[in-house]
């Protein structure tokens, strides 16, 4: 499942990266990438007024030729009160995208999240400059 992948470790710099020639046309890859980012930006940690994409909680997104999506994400802390809920919120958001067949969200704490993963936009919003 490496047809469309983007590394979200630096949200502002995320760009689709294809490893092999994809069966999906470039225009469709671009549309899906834009839609994925837009939907990820609709999910918020209830304790932080910044979306999970700008917070740098999304580590990787893979989309297969069949439009099955796998998201690798983390939380700000392993004991986050919404740890059991947030992956479902992400899955629900992604599955709303036209053409996406399925979504699986994998939670990881390796590497652990830290504030350096936030975009400049998130840092500005949280007065962390």
Q: How confident is the model at residue 80 (pLDDT cuts 50, 70, 90)?
A: confident
Delimit the domains of the chain by residue range. Answer: 4-125
pLDDT score for 90: 98
Contact 58, 40 (CB under 8 A): yes
pLDDT of 13 above 50: no
- Average pLDDT rounded to a whole number, residues 85-114: 96
Contact 117, 74 (CB under 8 A): no
- Tell me the C-alpha distance between 61 and 119, whole Å: 17
Contact 61, 19 (CB under 8 A): no
pTM for this entry: 0.82
Residue of higher predicted confidence among 52 and 12: 52
The fold of 4-125 is GMP Synthetase; Chain A, domain 3 (3.30.300)
Q: Which residues pair with 27 in a beta bridge?
A: none
């Amino acid at each position: 499942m490496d047809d469309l992948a983007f590394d979200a470790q630096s949200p502002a710099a995320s760009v689709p990266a294809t490893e092999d020639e994809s069966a999906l046309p470039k225009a469709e890859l671009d549309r899906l990438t834009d839609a994925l980012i837009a939907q990820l930006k609709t999910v918020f940690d209830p304790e932080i007024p910044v979306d999970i994409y700008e917070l740098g909680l999304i580590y990787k997104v893979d989309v297969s030729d069949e439009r099955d999506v796998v998201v690798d994400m983390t939380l700000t802390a392993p004991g986050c009160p919404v740890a059991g809920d947030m992956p479902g919120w992400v899955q629900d958001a992604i599955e709303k995208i036209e053409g996406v067949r399925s979504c699986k969200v994998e939670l990881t704490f390796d590497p652990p999240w830290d504030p350096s993963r936030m975009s400049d936009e998130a840092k500005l919003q949280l007065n962390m400059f």
